[in-house]
């Protein structure tokens, strides 16, 4: 048997940083959303854990195979779940097909980890509760628990305390991704924030409450604390935003960047916009919001 599941990218409708926590991390409030730009994870029985990578690029543009398997979040997720199951004899071949640009703020590595946990839970017949998988995922990264729920959700704490929300109405996006993406930039972005950049998280809480009432997010709901420092910290993101604005678009920073996302009105033809952004030297993807059921579906293959 082979088990397959998608590992979707995400955007943040909101990303607010409230301040530094006693444990050294930052407290955040964020409303997250899965979108249908996806990696794919397939797992099958094997004598030990092995990771097979496919796709053009890996972390920050490096060749995929340049990263040792032991540093890959999908492999680490598999090892963690095997330890939790107490089964040193458990093995799996993990095939990871990459489509999400790495190091862009779209959550690809965290989503791969969540997908691996989800797929191996099925392959190994563990049937762990979602909350238990989320606790394991939080040990790998703050975004991993969200990807175990998918859809639309409110994140608190480090972002790892996840409250699922109702799926929002389908929306189209353009994702505009600089081809040069600095490695290990998330910690640097957080370190660069100052007290005047912090907020109380009210905007995220208000948006979560509105979504729970069936109100879809609008342009005016979108905010990201990192926007205030993006020009000095991520010139690649600033250039992408400037290009989008030059095309008459309203760009928003994806996570900690440098990718930008742009909401597309239903009647707008996207091809000319994609072509113009690509001609300016950016990778461009069209995507739509992805409901929780689609983002977390697991399929058994013969």
Q: Is the pLDDT of residue 135 over 90?
A: yes
> What's the confidence (pLDDT) of residue 301?
86
2 is catalytic: no
Handedness of CA 80, 83, 85, 91 (dihedral sign): positive
Q: Give mean pLDDT, residues 38-59.
A: 85
> What's the confidence (pLDDT) of residue 89?
82
> What's the confidence (pLDDT) of residue 58?
44
The listed range with the strongest mean pLDDT (196-210, 229-243, 275-289) is 196-210
63 pLDDT tier (thresholds 50, 70, 90): very low
DSSP 192-239: H--GGG---SHHHHHHHHHHHTTPPP-GGG-EEGGGGGHHHH-HHHHH
**Average pLDDT of the chain to the nearest whole number:** 91
Q: Give mean pLDDT, residues 268-279.
A: 90
Q: How is residue 289 annotated by DSSP?
A: B
Non-local (6+) Cβ contacts of 234 within 8 A are 182, 185, 189, 257, 258
The residue ranking higher by pLDDT, 64 or 277, is 277
Q: Is the pLDDT of residue 70 over 80?
A: no
167 close to 152: Cβ distance less than 8 angstroms: yes
Handedness of CA 102, 105, 111, 114 (dihedral sign): positive
Q: Give mean pLDDT, residues 285-293.
A: 97
Q: Is the pLDDT of residue 66 over 80?
A: no
As for how many domains the chain has, the answer is 1
83 is catalytic: no
> What's the confidence (pLDDT) of residue 56?
60
Residue among 10, 98, 160, 167 flagged as catalytic: 10
Q: Give mean pLDDT, residues 46-70.
A: 67
| Least confident among 15-24, 183-192, 255-264 | 183-192
Closest CA to 154 of 218, 117, 206, 113: 206
According to DSSP, the β-strands at 260-264 and 252-253 are antiparallel
Instruction: For residue 197, count CB atoms less than 10 angstroms from its CB and return exposed for 0-12, middle for 13-18, buried for 19 or more.
Output: middle
- pLDDT (tens digit per residue) in 206-236: 999 999 999 999 999 999 999 999 888 888 8
The residue ranking higher by pLDDT, 266 or 297, is 297
The span from the CA of 61 to the CA of 150, in Å, is 26
- pLDDT (tens digit per residue) in 82-117: 999 987 789 999 999 999 998 899 999 999 999 999
> What's the confidence (pLDDT) of residue 68?
57
Q: Give the rounded percent of residues in the chain with a pLDDT score beyond 90.
A: 75
The span from the CA of 226 to the CA of 233, in Å, is 9
Residue among 143, 160, 167, 185 flagged as catalytic: 143
The span from the CA of 102 to the CA of 111, in Å, is 11
| Least confident among 8-17, 49-58, 124-133, 270-279 | 49-58
What own/partner pairs with CB < 8 Å and gap ≥ 24 does 194-197 have?
A: 195/19, 197/17, 197/225, 197/228, 197/229
The span from the CA of 213 to the CA of 146, in Å, is 21
Can you give the CATH number for the domain in which 47 is found? 3.30.230.10
Our CA dihedral for 170, 260, 295, 269, rounded to 10 degrees, sits at 40
Closest CA to 204 of 195, 217, 213, 214: 217
Q: Is the pLDDT of residue 60 over 70?
A: no
The span from the CA of 78 to the CA of 51, in Å, is 10
* Domain region containing 221: 1-302
> What's the confidence (pLDDT) of residue 64?
53
Q: Is the pLDDT of residue 55 over 80?
A: no
Q: Give mean pLDDT, residues 132-152.
A: 96
146 pLDDT tier (thresholds 50, 70, 90): very high
* Stated pTM of the model: 0.93
The pair of structure tokens assigned to 90 is 């458990």
Our CA dihedral for 233, 275, 35, 291, rounded to 10 degrees, sits at 150
């Amino acid at each position: 048997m082979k088990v397959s599941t998608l590992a979707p990218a995400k955007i943040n409708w909101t990303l607010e940083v409230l301040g530094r926590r006693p444990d050294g991390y930052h407290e955040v409030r964020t409303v997250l959303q899965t979108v249908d730009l996806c990696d794919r994870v397939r797992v099958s029985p094997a004598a030990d854990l092995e990771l097979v990578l496919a796709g053009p690029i890996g972390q920050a543009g490096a060749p995929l195979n340049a990263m040792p398997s032991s540093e890959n979040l999908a492999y680490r997720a598999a090892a963690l779940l095997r330890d939790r199951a107490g089964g040193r004899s458990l093995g799996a071949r993990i095939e990871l097909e990459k489509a999400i640009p790495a190091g862009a703020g779209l959550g690809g590595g965290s989503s791969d980890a969540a997908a691996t946990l989800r797929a191996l839970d099925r392959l190994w017949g563990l049937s762990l509760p979602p909350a238990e998988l989320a606790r394991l995922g939080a040990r790998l990264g703050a975004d991993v628990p969200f990807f175990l729920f998918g859809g639309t959700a409110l994140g608190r704490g480090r972002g790892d305390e996840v409250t699922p929300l109702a799926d929002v109405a389908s929306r189209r996006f353009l994702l505009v991704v600089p081809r040069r993406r600095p490695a290990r930039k998330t910690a640097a972005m957080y370190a660069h924030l100052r007290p005047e950049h912090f907020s109380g998280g009210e905007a995220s809480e208000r948006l979560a409450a509105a979504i729970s009432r069936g109100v879809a997010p609008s342009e005016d709901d979108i905010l990201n604390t990192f926007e205030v420092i993006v020009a000095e910290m991520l010139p690649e993101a600033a250039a992408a935003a400037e290009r989008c604005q030059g095309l008459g678009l309203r760009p928003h920073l994806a996570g900690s960047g440098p990718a930008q996302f742009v909401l597309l009105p239903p009647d707008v033809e996207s091809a000319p916009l994609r072509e113009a952004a690509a001609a300016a030297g950016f990778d461009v993807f069209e995507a739509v919001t992805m409901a929780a059921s689609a983002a977390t579906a697991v399929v058994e293959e013969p």
